[in-house]
Structure 1
C-alpha cells in the first residue's frame, strides 16, 4: 500500500494561506508599529496598557527565541508525522519568527516545511 506525498487540497490550502498571511501581518505590525518605535517605548515607560504589556511580552518572547523554537519544534513534528494542523501551526510560527528577530531557527523550520512536502501522508486520499 503506497502513500501519497503530503499535499493539502484546494480548500485546505486557502485556509493555510489565510492563516499564514494573518500571522505575517500580525508580526509585521508588532515589529514595525510597536517594538521598533522608540516613541512607543518611551510612552510605555510608566504606563500599563494592553498595548504596552503586549509589547513587553513580545520582546520577552523573542529575547528567549520562543518564536523560532516553536517553529522548529512544529516543523520537526510535521516532518516526522505530516498533518495539516501541524503544518499550519509551523507555517504561522515560522512567519512570525522570520519577522520578529528569530531568523535562524525560523528559517530552518521553513526548510523543514518545504522538505515535508516529499514525505508520505497517511491522510491523503487516492
Structure 2
C-alpha cells in the first residue's frame, strides 16, 4: 500500500499558519519591545513585573539555545514520523528561534521541516 507524502489538509493548514504567525508575532514583540530596548533593561533592574520576568526568562532560554534546540528536535521527530502536531510545534519553535537569536539551529530545523513534506505519511487520505 503506497502512502502519500505529508501534506496537511486545507483546514489543518489554516490552523498551522495561524499558530505559526502567532509564534512569529510573539517572537518579534519579545525581541523588539523587550530585549532590544535599553529602557526596558534599565527599568527591569529596579522593578519586578511580569514583563521583566518574561524578559529574563527569554534571555535565559536563548542564551542556552533552547528555541533552536527545541526546533531542531521537533523537526527531526517530524522528519522521522510526520504528524500535524509535531509539524506545528516544530514550526512554532522555528519561528521563535529565527527571530530570537537562535537562527543557526532554527534555520536547520526549517530546512528539515521542508524536507519532511517529501516523507510518506500514514495519516494521508486518498
Normalised to the residue count of structure 1, the TM-score between the two structures is: 1.00
**What are the equivalent positions in structure 2 for 1:1-126 lying under 5 Å apart?**
1-126=1-126
Distance 2:45 2:85 in 1: 39
Unaligned runs of 5+ in 1: none
**1:107 Cα deviation after fit:** 0.1
Normalised to the residue count of structure 2, the TM-score between the two structures is: 1.00
Deviations 1:72-104 (Å, cap 9, x if unpaired)? 000000000000000000000000000000000
Residue-pair matches, total: 126
Unaligned runs of 5+ in 2: none
What is the RMSD computed on CA atoms of the aligned residues?
Answer: 0.3
